[in-house]
Structure 1
Amino acid sequence: MQSDRSDSSGPITKRVNSLPSDSDTRGKHRIQAELKRLEQEARLLEEELELLDKMENATAVCKEMLSNVDTRPDPLLPV
């Protein structure tokens, strides 16, 4: 007959418990390094967004350039 109770000391539990403690510190360091990288990337993106907020609209610049080009005759076209 089979027993209905579960054995908590199965092969998976033994494998997890037998991991060396060094892997815990390396994993922790790896996670901290990834977190630091993500924080730096977020900070750079925030700075870029601030610069974009301060920039003049591209349409205004294009309109200004078109008005300057339209008022000057093309030197290569005959008059």
Structure 2
Amino acid sequence: MESSGSESESPMTHRVQSLSATTDTRGKHRIQAELKRLEQEARFLMEELGQLEGMDKASASCKEMLRQRIRD
């Protein structure tokens, strides 16, 4: 005696499938949120890199600071 697929599913099987679907949705949302965070961080770092490229060389700035301290 074979039963059809819907009759053979226990309430527990249906519950596990339902939880899996919920978990997949949450997992997808977490991945999308992490991707958005990484994209924002990449934009921030690109802006910071642009600002750093516009600054004087660190050695020149350090020399100037040392000169000021020596004068004081």
Structure-2-length-normalised TM-score: 0.61
Greater Cα radius of gyration, structure 1 or 2: 1
**Unaligned segments of structure 1, at least 5 residues:** 1-8, 10-16
Structure 2 residues without counterparts, runs of 5 or longer:
3-7
Alpha-carbon distance in structure 1 between the residues aligned to 2:53 and 2:59: 10
How many aligned positions are there? Answer: 60
CA distance in 1, matches of 2:56, 2:18: 55
* Aligned-CA RMSD value: 2.8
Higher helix proportion (structure 1 or 2): 2
Sequence identity (%) = 12
Equivalences for residues 24-63 of structure 1 within 5 A? 24-55=17-48, 56=50, 58=52, 61=55, 63=57
User: Using the alignment, how far apart are the partners of 2:20 and 2:37 within structure 1?
Assistant: 26
1:68 aligns with 2:33: no
TM-score (norm. length: structure 1)? 0.56
